[in-house]
Structure formats: C-alpha cells, structure tokens
C-alpha cells in the first residue's frame, strides 16, 4: 500500500493512484482497451477493470466513460435565481425536477442558486428558463457562455495540493474560442445513437466498445471510428475517469466573477485562463438590467479555503485588477452528466 494520508487515500494503493491521475483522459480507443491500461499499470486486463469498478463503487470515480461538450452539440447556459430563504428547498426541488438541469449549486451570494441548463436548441433552453421563472416566481439570470478561454476539470488529486495543480507550473492553452448559442452538432445517425448509449458511462468489460456496438447495432470498427470523430470534433472532451472532486477533498471551490473592460476581455481572459490554478475561465454576458455587471468568470478548485483565497488575491493583484466578487459554493443541490437525449433531439 502507498504511504498516502487521508481517509480516501488510505483506501487506495499506488496502482490505484496511477489509474486515478493517469486516466482522467486518454482511455484507449481500441477493441481491448484495458489490456493497454493494465500493461501501463503493470497489472493484467481483468485487474485493471476491477480496479476501475472498485474506485467507482468507493465514490472516488463518479463515472467512467466519455465527457460530453454540451456547447458544441446543443445549447447550454449558466443560470441563477435569488431564492428566498424560506422557500429555498422548494425552489431547488423545482429547478432540479428538470432533466435538462445537470448541475445546481447553492452559492454564498444574493444570487444564491446557480444551475446549468442544457438542451437541444436555444429555443428549448429558453423555454425551460421561462418555465422555471413561472413555477418558482423568481427572476432568472441567464448567462450563456460566449467565449471559452479554458475549461478542464482534469487535474491530479492524489497529492497534498491545497488547490488544483498547485504542484504543477506549466501554463495552459487558453486561446479564445467563440461559442454559438445556436450550436447543433452535425451528428450522423450512428454518432447520435452512440451518444445516447454512453451517456451514463462505458460498460466495465474487456470489450466496452464491442459491447456498445452490439447495443446500437453497428460494427465495432464503425463505433471506434465514430468515437475518434467525436473526440476530434470536440463533441467529446475526453474519455476516462470522471473524478469526484468533493470525495478527494477539493470542496473549497470558488467561482469568481470579474468586471473586465470589454476592450481587454480576450487579452485578460487568455492570460488568466492560462494559469495552472485556474480550472475554468470564460466570458458570459453582462446583465445590467438585472444589476449584473460581470463578464468574466473563473473557477479555482481547492482543499484549503485560505489557500484558494490567497490565489484569488494573486489573480486580482497580478492579472485581473478590476472589481470582482467571490461566490463560494456552499452545497451541491444536483450534479449529473448532461443528458445526450436532450442534445441529439431523441
């Protein structure tokens, strides 16, 4: 066993650690992928499969499979409401009732409930927001992503880092990527069926792609080629272990919103998004009519709130010297993967 400390770490050994940190992405796209995974880890194919299963059952791995990129396939938005304290649970239940809501968090702010809505079209998405307004009686702050500078929750967790990537120093690729609210993935029939089949994860077997192929009624060679196309086009962000960051101690997570001059937005967004400790960085619209002046969002994930605050101080002093607010998450109200059936129109 490893000498790693902490409750969840004491339950894993060095092979588990290599699997957790080494296969958050890059899972082989080939007929017997666990053979190669096992060879890389110095274990056999069956042992590799069983280790992934055990990590999933322990809650360290939330899901094993593909991570969808909703803005490329359909239309998604970050939204918020100001839920009255005496109706907070009622409002949360209404919001969570929508299958198109895949994340919902309580945050320490006047806008105290933040959720993501993902649908197959902008019209469908906006209908859901309007329905949430009607049912809750709460004004909805609609903040679709306009520019992606950096979005990736893949980072090492088997360590003593106080915040994400503390032990890493390299800058990240944070080139500005425009996001259309009218996005619709140009999917073939096979690709649409494939996304539906894998939305809850991959089969944990020696031949996961063959099992998927049999379920959707295509040859395994066609499925492998389709997966490669979906990765190349950006419809799938990565394939591997989707880590439960709360279980691994990264529960001091802060969304910081910034009032960046419009003429400096790309320059400053790319600069901030390239920092190792910034896990998310993107541009969303201001909503002055709802007293929302902020147009740049960053996230920092950490285990130590004081360390996270210190990195935000550094970010404000050295990279984003503008008005900002810190919205710490106080409770996870809902967390699921986006439903592919809502994105592919099935």
Distance (Å, rounded) from C-alpha 15 to C-alpha 7? 17
Taking only the tens place, the pLDDT of each residue in 71-110 is 777 788 999 999 999 999 999 999 999 999 989 999 999 9
Cα dihedral 31, 33, 35, 38, rounded to 10, equals -170
How confident is the model at residue 110, as a pLDDT? Answer: 97
What digits encode the pLDDT tens for the residues 112-148?
Answer: 999 999 887 889 999 999 999 999 999 999 999 999 9
Instruction: Output the pLDDT for position 183.
Output: 58
pLDDT at 244: 93
Question: 325: pLDDT confidence band, cut at 50, 70 and 90?
Answer: very high
Neighbouring-strand partners of residue 329: 107
User: What pTM was estimated for this model as a whole?
Assistant: 0.87
Weakest mean pLDDT among 166-180, 227-241, 276-290:
166-180
> What is the pLDDT, as a whole number, of residue 70?
72
Look-up: residue for tokens 């967004």?
A: 269
C-alpha span between 52 and 89 (Å, rounded): 35
Q: What is the mean pLDDT of the chain?
A: 91
Q: Work out the average pLDDT over 19-31.
A: 96
What whole-number distance in Å separates Cα of residue 265 and Cα of residue 132? 31
- Per-residue burial over 181-209, b if 16 or more Cβ lie within 10 Å, else e, is eebbbebeebbbbbbbbbbebbbbebebb
Query: What pLDDT score does 171 carry?
Result: 72
Neighbouring residues of 177: CB distance < 8 A, sequence distance ≥ 6: 147, 148, 149
């Amino acid at each position: 066993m490893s000498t790693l400390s902490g409750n969840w770490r004491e339950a894993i050994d060095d092979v588990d650690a290599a699997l957790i940190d080494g296969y958050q992405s890059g899972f082989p796209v080939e007929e017997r992928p666990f053979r190669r995974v096992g060879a890389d880890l110095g274990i056999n194919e069956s042992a590799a499969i069983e280790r992934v299963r055990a990590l999933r059952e322990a809650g360290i791995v939330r899901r094993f499979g593909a991570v969808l990129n909703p803005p490329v396939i359909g239309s998604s938005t970050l939204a918020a409401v100001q839920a009255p304290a005496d109706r907070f649970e009622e409002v949360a239940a209404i919001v969570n009732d929508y299958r198109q809501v895949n994340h919902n968090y309580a945050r320490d702010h006047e806008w105290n409930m933040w959720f993501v809505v993902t649908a197959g079209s902008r019209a469908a998405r906006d209908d859901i927001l309007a329905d949430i307004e009607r049912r809750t009686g709460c004004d909805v702050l609609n903040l679709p992503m306009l520019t992606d500078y950096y979005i990736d929750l893949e980072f090492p967790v088997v360590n003593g880092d106080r915040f994400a990537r503390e032990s890493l120093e390299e800058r990240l690729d944070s080139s500005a990527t425009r996001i259309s609210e009218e996005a619709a993935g140009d999917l073939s029939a096979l690709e649409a069926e494939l996304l539906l089949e894998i939305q809850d994860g991959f089969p944990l077997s020696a031949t996961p792609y063959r099992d998927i192929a049999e379920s959707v009624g295509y040859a395994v060679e066609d499925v492998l080629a389709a997966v490669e196309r979906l990765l190349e086009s950006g419809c799938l962000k990565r394939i591997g272990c989707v880590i439960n960051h709360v279980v691994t101690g990264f529960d001091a997570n802060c969304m910081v919103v910034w009032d960046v001059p419009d003429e400096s937005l790309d320059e400053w967004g790319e600069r901030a998004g390239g920092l190792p400790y910034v896990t998310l960085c993107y541009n969303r619209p201001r909503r002055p009519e709802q007293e929302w002046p902020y147009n740049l969002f960053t996230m920092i994930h950490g285990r130590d709130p004081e360390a996270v605050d210190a990195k935000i101080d550094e970010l404000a002093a050295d990279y984003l010297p503008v008005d900002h607010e810190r919205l710490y998450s106080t409770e996870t109200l809902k967390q699921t993967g986006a439903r592919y059936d809502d994105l592919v129109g099935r």
